[in-house]
């Protein structure tokens, strides 16, 4: 059930339009987060919550959105592992690695001809107090992402299977994004459908 979950989205026209659909369809009340203060704002979120970020350059907001108490399992679906070794601050290239260096085990799933495969992981096998699912929709073949990011070969079905693994635990946070900032109307509708499919799964099982 999505009732009672908090819902946040970053400032761009795509997310405003997506949020409008989500609010009507799932009964959530969205809150637009001012980008200037976004990292501080997301760190202050309490309880179970969903975040829509923008194009792939904003995926590092997943790191700020994490539950920082306890020890969690973070599952990612992405066309890239985002585990780069460089950088002392989280960015779209390294945020999963930085999560794994703190209070989360991390498993990043990449698209594969058989659906998905583990791309990279940081696992210490500690007892988990919560779960986190992070989806970059460039995982999906043909998804309208920024030209700066190559799309993977995955299907929405494979991405939903990965999401199902995360829902099976004590899921606390969900973040998703990846749509380019200026899609055509046809691209926007296709991208919106992917967001809705994940939220439908969450509504059924979370």
What digits encode the pLDDT tens for the residues 111-139?
999 999 999 999 998 899 999 999 999 99
Over range 38-47, report the average pLDDT.
91
What pLDDT was estimated at residue 108? 98
Give the dihedral of Cα atoms 206, 93, 157, 32; nearest 10 deg: 50
> Which residues, at least 6 apart from 186, have a Cβ–Cβ distance to it below 8 Å?
none
The answer regarding whether domain 6-205 maps to CATH 3.30.565.10 reads: no
Interatomic CA distance for residues 31 and 35, integer angstroms = 12
What pLDDT was estimated at residue 180? 98
What pLDDT was estimated at residue 152? 96
Q: Sorting pLDDT into bands at 50, 70 and 90, what band is 37?
A: confident
62-77 pLDDT, tens digit per residue, is 999 999 999 999 999 9
What pLDDT was estimated at residue 188? 98
What pLDDT was estimated at residue 57? 96
CB-CB contact of 107 with 168 (8 Å): no
Cβ neighbours around 98 below 10 Å, total? 21
- Percent of the chain exceeding pLDDT 70 equals 100
For residue 34, is pLDDT > 90? no
> pTM here?
0.97
Give the range among 34-38, 49-53, 143-147 with minimum mean pLDDT: 34-38
75-117 pLDDT, tens digit per residue, is 999 999 999 998 889 999 999 999 999 999 999 999 999 999 9
Q: Where are the domains of the chain?
A: 6-205
* Per-residue CA distances from 111 to 42, 92, 206 (Å): 29, 18, 24
């Amino acid at each position: 059930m999505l009732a009672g979950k908090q819902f946040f989205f970053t400032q761009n026209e795509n997310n405003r339009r997506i949020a409008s659909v989500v609010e009507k369809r799932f009964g959530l009340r969205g809150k637009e987060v001012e980008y200037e203060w976004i990292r501080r704002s997301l760190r202050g979120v309490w309880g179970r919550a969903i975040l829509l970020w923008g194009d792939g350059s904003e995926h590092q907001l997943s790191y700020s959105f994490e539950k920082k108490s306890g020890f969690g399992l973070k599952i990612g679906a992405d066309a890239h592992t985002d585990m780069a070794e460089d950088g002392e601050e989280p960015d779209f290239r390294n945020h999963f690695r930085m999560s794994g260096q703190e209070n989360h085990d991390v498993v990043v799933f990449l698209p594969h001809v058989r659906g998905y495969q583990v791309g990279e992981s940081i696992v210490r096998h500690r007892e988990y107090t919560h779960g986190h699912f992070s989806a970059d929709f460039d995982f999906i073949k043909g998804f309208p992402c920024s030209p700066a990011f190559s799309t993977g070969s995955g299907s929405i079905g494979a991405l939903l299977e990965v999401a199902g693994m995360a829902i099976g635990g004590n899921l606390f946070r969900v973040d998703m994004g990846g749509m380019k900032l200026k899609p055509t109307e046809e691209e926007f509708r296709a991208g919106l459908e992917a967001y809705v499919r994940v939220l439908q799964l969450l509504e059924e099982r979370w």
